[in-house]
Amino acid sequence: MLAAIFVLSGIGPSIFSLSAACQRGLSLAAAYGLGLIAGTVVVPALLPWLPWRSFYLKGLIAGLLFGLAATVLGGESLIPMEKAAMVLLSVAISSYAAMNFTGATPFTSPSGVEKEMRRGIPLQFGAILATVILWVGAAF
């Protein structure tokens, strides 16, 4: 995933720029890392206090908060399209990581896990697709 982030970050008006890949790639990699931490550490730690029953929605909340933190850490050099892409990536990664805990509680059933995955995965895919479009589009 990190390799894909750096390749996407290098795409721009001059076809590919290694310096842009490094500069822009670090910002998106930070959003990815914060989303991963939100979904794998924060969601299980705050499980009883996060609203909704679905794990992908719990991950969405944590990813949104951590994605907003990533945009603040990214500084003023980022344009709004890049900030939106960072938030969407953090939300998608956090939601997916949190959804992996769906079958880990004693109250889940196979049909409930399947129902949650059918609802969550299309949203996560859409967020990743929007991230790619916004991130590459911001370079132009």
**H/E element, 54:** none
| Model pTM score | 0.90
Domain assignment present for residue 42? The answer is yes
Question: According to the model, what pLDDT value does residue 19 have?
Answer: 83
Residue 4 lies in a domain: no
What 3-state class would DSSP assign to 16? Answer: strand
The answer to the question of residue 23 being in a domain is: no
13-39, pLDDT tens digit by residue? Answer: 888 888 888 888 899 999 999 999 999
Q: Report yes or no: 82 and 24 within 8 Å, Cβ to Cβ.
A: yes
Query: Per the domain annotation, does 128 fall within a domain?
Result: yes
Query: Beta partners for 11?
Result: 16
Is position 85 within any domain? yes
Domain that holds residue 39: 32-138
In the numeric block, the tokens 């990743």 are attached to: 128
Is residue 22 domain-resident? no
Domain count, the chain: 1
Would you state the pLDDT for residue 106?
A: 74
Angle between helices 80-99 and 110-138 (to 10 degrees): 160
Tens-place pLDDT, residues 67-111: 999 898 877 788 999 999 999 999 999 999 999 888 777 777 788
Is the pLDDT at 112 greater than 90? The verdict is no
